[in-house]
Amino acid sequence: MTNPAPWWTSAVVYQIYPRSFLDRSGDGIGDLAGIRDRLDYLQWLGVDAIWLSPFYPSPMADFGYDVSNYVDVDPLFGTLAEFDVLVDECHRRDLKVIVDWVPNHSSDQHPWFIESRSSRTSEKRDWYYWRDGTRDRPPNNWRAAFGGRAWTWDEATSQWYLHLFLPEQPDLNWGNPEVREAMYGTLRFWLDRGVDGFRMDVIHGIGRDPLLPDAPYDVERVPWSSQNDHELTHEYLREIRKLIDAYPGDRVAIGEVFLLSTRKVATYYGHNDELHLSFNFPPLYAPWTADAWRRRVDRVVEEFDPISAWPTWVLSNHDNPRHRTRYGSEARAHAAAVLLLTLRGTPFVYAGEELGLEDAKIPASARVDPGDRDGCRAPIPWDGSAAHGWAGGSEAWLPWPPDSESRNMEALRDDPASILYLYRRLLVARRGSPALRSGSWQARPAPQGVLAYQRNSPDGTDSRTILINFTEHPWPVPVRIADAIVEIASDGVGEGLPYGGTLAPDQALILR
């Protein structure tokens, strides 16, 4: 008997940015209690797992991605006891829990860095990257992700320290075995508390050329965080994978590999001994055209299939403008939902996608993020009141998204024609179809501007055909399916009826 596929191959993962999900304490910042309050909603929606962006103690220079304690919960969000309850409540509803892990850098307020910075002879000096130089000449030409050089001069010890992001986020030296063991200890801490896996931030950054050579001249102004690609990372990932695989329950390691090359991303799966899943970001940046998306899917097939790597798909997240904003229309957001949830691989839904949210318009006086990502992190509106279901009135930590008085969970749940119900129908259809969950992917002939493909279950007993019109014009699209029935239509038109042979503008269909 063959072993069943791991749960994460057929799951739909729902990303929660805790600050923006729901506030229950009344301080205008989302918290663990707010997440727990909406678990029944997530179960109704039909997702299989939640991924929690950082909730650790942090000075919040980068809103949680500057961690000052890897094994606790920031009081803004709650307590460890509340986290344990949240995990138990998720598991009671058959929801898996994935937490963010930030191994590339810590906060400059982490006790490790405070000790490292205290003296050149500190026992933790080598836990970070310290290099000699002069006050006006850093050790190399690397650029930081948010602008400026990737080095900061420390006046007290007359050396530079490295940070691929903010100066408040010094990079950990993974070449030091003590650092690796300390970080592996943080993984064990959360695994022992029952989490089902990790989304690993900037995981391609942990291995470095020990010489820290200059970036090539032609890319010297490109942040090094999107260029670092060293063989040592793969050695460390094999250690991480071995640790995680020692736990029962198919715990999962999901990597943020921000290298805009599908070929390079594929290498981080190793020989099924590194990452279980990796984000592949070129599709996220693809324009809304059939040709662009066909190329992106073909690249995944070409690079992932030969090594039996399982793909991921994502249209929005906490670092990029929402796809409803990028694609420019409600109809396209509906069609994109069909695309996301029918491609072969594991889809990730960013909280609020199912509401069709756009980025908030943030006035200069309200901007807080160093990377100008506030718009996509706007609070989730749950009802049409001034406070939108949040405790403590309407003063959330960021302005609300557009049209929140009408585009909120409560209003959309009362409207069977809404995008919220489209997501629910798609998730129900996906769960009920072996072809959509884990089947093969095969392109089908289609006119210019249309992407057509077929999904077939491994045993051949289940099949679905997906048609997506990326244009504003109707297109006749014949299919080789006798008596094809429209199972899902992105606009809801014709569901349950025979397919008429024509795709409406910006429409996507699932046929069975």
Q: How far is CA 101 from the centre of its chain?
A: 12
- Is the distance from CB of 143 to CB of 221 less than 8 angstroms? yes
- Is the distance from CB of 212 to CB of 139 less than 8 angstroms? yes
Structure tokens at 28: 């205008």
- Could you give the CA distance from residue 294 to residue 287 in angstroms, rounded to a whole number? 11
- Could you give the CA distance from residue 148 to residue 502 in angstroms, rounded to a whole number? 52
Burial grade of 286 (CB within 10 A; 0-12, 13-18, 19 or more): middle
The catalytically annotated residue of 256, 303, 359, 487 is 256
What is the total residue count of the chain? 512
E strands present in 362-445: 440-444
Query: Mapping DSSP to helix (H, G, I), strand (E, B) and coil, where does residue 183 land?
Result: helix
Per the annotation, the verdict on 256 as an active-site residue is yes
Sign of CA dihedral 184, 185, 186, 192: positive
Encode burial over 200-213: b for 16+ CB neighbours within 10 A, e otherwise.
Answer: bbbbbbbbbeeeee
Name the DSSP letter for residue 133.
Answer: -
Per the annotation, the verdict on 495 as an active-site residue is no
What does DSSP say about strands 252-255 and 277-278: parallel, antiparallel, or unpaired?
parallel
The catalytically annotated residue of 62, 201, 303, 374 is 201
Query: Mapping DSSP to helix (H, G, I), strand (E, B) and coil, where does residue 359 land?
Result: coil
- Could you give the CA distance from residue 508 to residue 469 in angstroms, rounded to a whole number? 6
**What residues are labeled active site?**
201, 256
